[in-house]
A and B are shown apart, each in its own frame.
Chain A
Amino acid sequence: MPSADFKDELLGEIRNLRAFAISLSGSVSLADDLVQESLLRAWANSEKFQPGTSLRAWLFTILRNIYYSNYRKRAREVQDSEGLYARRLTVPGDQESHLDLEDFRQALTKLPAEQREVLTLIGASGLSYEEAAAVCQVGIGTIKSRLSRARAKLVELLELDVSSHESVERKVRRVG
């Protein structure tokens, strides 16, 4: 039986785990199945978690393994995450700059899955390179190069101008 602390920490990670699952599968309904299965597996294997390491990274690893073993094929058929995104369409930035969030989401869907995953793990979920490498079962160099390619691809897709600071701001305002 897991400790009360473990349970509390687990509960604290559910929203992040679900966000990762939605990013990974592109589907809310599959994500909920994935999260449920991952939570049950984590609960049953709590003694395998090493205290002092990242519970988030551990849970992401479990969920990712379940996804790639059992869900990946289904995920291609069910893409129903659009409904979640109705609430906010633009990103407030510094001063008056805005990047259209819908454009950004479209661009994200065009990235290779492995690049989107690394962006999600490091850029959005706050994992370290080491933790992301452990979750994806690849080396740190691979993580860094995927991240760098993901960023370059987004710059290209969103037509962000990298030639000067000022032109980026102009472009970003125009998009917004």
Chain B
Amino acid sequence: MVRMNEARVTKLENLAPRTGSQDQGGTAAAQAIGRALGAHYSDLVQAPLPDKLLELLARLDDEQKSKGSRDALG
């Protein structure tokens, strides 16, 4: 996860303006934003899934398994 976030930071960093004395400052600001964005988003990605979605996944899984076993029999 940390490595992924670093990759994201690098990507945003590439957007920093590359002009004269602004270069380093732009990059540092982009890095700070990239880190914050990565942390913000990883909170969202890691948030526990609600029962409703877990149940849906289980249902899709069952549906496929029963289809799979019918194929094997047929």
Q: Kindly list chain A residues whose C-beta atoms are within 8 Å of the C-beta of B35.
A: 91, 93, 99
Q: How far is the CA of A84 from the CA of B41 in the complex (A)?
A: 11
A36-B56, A105-B40, A126-B4 known; A151 vs B50 contact (CB < 8 Å): no
Per-residue contact bits, chain B 62-74, to A (CB 8 Å; 1 contact, 0 not): 0110011000000
B53 touches A168 (CB 8 A): no
A16 touches B56 (CB 8 A): no
Give which listed residue, A1, A22, A39, contacts B44 with CB less than 8 A: A22
Q: Kindly list chain A residues whose C-beta atoms are within 8 Å of the C-beta of B39.
A: 88, 91-92, 101
Q: How far is the CA of A168 from the CA of B19 in the complex (A)?
A: 17
Q: Kindly list chain B residues whose C-beta atoms are within 8 Å of the C-beta of A94.
A: 31
Tell me how many residues of B have a C-beta within 8 Å of chain A.
44
B53 → chain A closest CB, angstroms: 6
Give which listed residue, A15, A23, A101, contacts B49 with CB less than 8 A: A15
Q: How far is the CA of A32 from the CA of B48 in the complex (A)?
A: 12
A168 touches B25 (CB 8 A): yes
B6 → chain A closest CB, angstroms: 11
Give which listed residue, B8, B15, B32, contacts A126 with CB less than 8 A: B8
B44 touches A23 (CB 8 A): yes
Question: For residues 6 through 65 of chain B, which have their beta carbon under 8 Å from a beta carbon of chain A?
Answer: 7-8, 11-12, 15-16, 21-22, 24-41, 43-47, 49-50, 52-53, 56-57, 60-61, 63-64
A167 → chain B closest CB, angstroms: 7
A126-B4, A147-B15 known; A165 vs B43 contact (CB < 8 Å): no
A61 adjacent to chain B (CB < 8 Å) = no
B40 touches A18 (CB 8 A): no
B43 touches A36 (CB 8 A): no
A38 → chain B closest CB, angstroms: 11
B70 → chain A closest CB, angstroms: 10
Interface residues of A (CB under 8 A from B): 1-2, 4, 7, 11, 14-16, 18-19, 22-23, 32, 35-36, 39-40, 43, 84-85, 87-88, 91-94, 97, 99, 101, 104-105, 108, 119-120, 122-126, 144, 147-148, 151, 154-155, 158, 160-165, 167-169, 172
Known: A99-B35, A123-B37, A126-B11. 9 other contacts (CB 8 A): A11-B57, A18-B53, A40-B56, A84-B44, A93-B32, A93-B35, A123-B38, A151-B15, A162-B25
